[in-house]
Amino acid sequence: MTAEDYLEGKVILIDKPLTWSSFQAVNKLKYILKRKYDLPKKFKIGHAGTLDPLATGLLIICTGKFTKKITEIQAQAKEYTGTITVGATTPSYDLETEVDATFPTEHVTEALILETTKQFLGEIDQKPPVFSAIKKDGKRLYEHARAGEEVEIAFRKTTIYEFEITRITLPEIDFRVTCSKGTYIRSLAFDFGKALQSGGYLSALRRTKIGEYSVNDGVSPEAFEKSLE
């Protein structure tokens, strides 16, 4: 690989580690590539779709002229696996914030769980979490949330193509979902808990695919750095 290759454009598949932000992962690769190839200061690099720090999995990073492909890659269907913990909710709909309410789970059976998934297939209305990066009144929603400000969030249409339950060990429910761009799996976890007449939050998440790109072909930032040696 040469500097020219990365300037012309490369698609790099990274398996993002837990607690890393997507921004951190991009910066790490930028640093690695600039150090290795003495690339220009304005070298273009970016990711095709954010992953929360508490999620792991596929982060697609585009370099050089391929940064123009980011919008096209982002528009593709995504696949995730993860865990919903029922019987409680958190303000962020995941483990970023503490449990704020608990609910009964005695009535939650395997049959009820499997039946409830059907409500979420196809086009659904979804409210993004208050702890998200969407802008409202010039500020990101999580900034409003952290400041304790009440914000009215509009529903958005999204599509769930597949929703498969892969393990039930209450309070944990493992799943695999394929969905359209703009789907919040945290909101799906919260809404799913509500539909079970309990509560729910996302306790683990891994992005496994974006379109034809798979995390099985991805490498850690460290492994990527080693591959250039």
Active site residues: 52
How long is the chain? 229
Vertex 1: Cα angle to 44 and 40 (nearest 5): 30
- Cα separation, 73 vs 211, whole angstroms: 7
Q: Helix and strand tally (H, E) in the chain?
A: 7, 13
Q: Are 86 and 193 in contact (CB under 8 A)?
A: yes
- Cα separation, 111 vs 213, whole angstroms: 33
**Residue spans of alpha helices (H) in the chain:** 3-8, 22-37, 70-74, 110-117, 141-146, 185-195, 221-227
DSSP code string of 6-67? HHH--EEEEEEPTT--HHHHHHHHHHHHHHHH---TT--EEESS---TTEEEEEEEEEGGGG
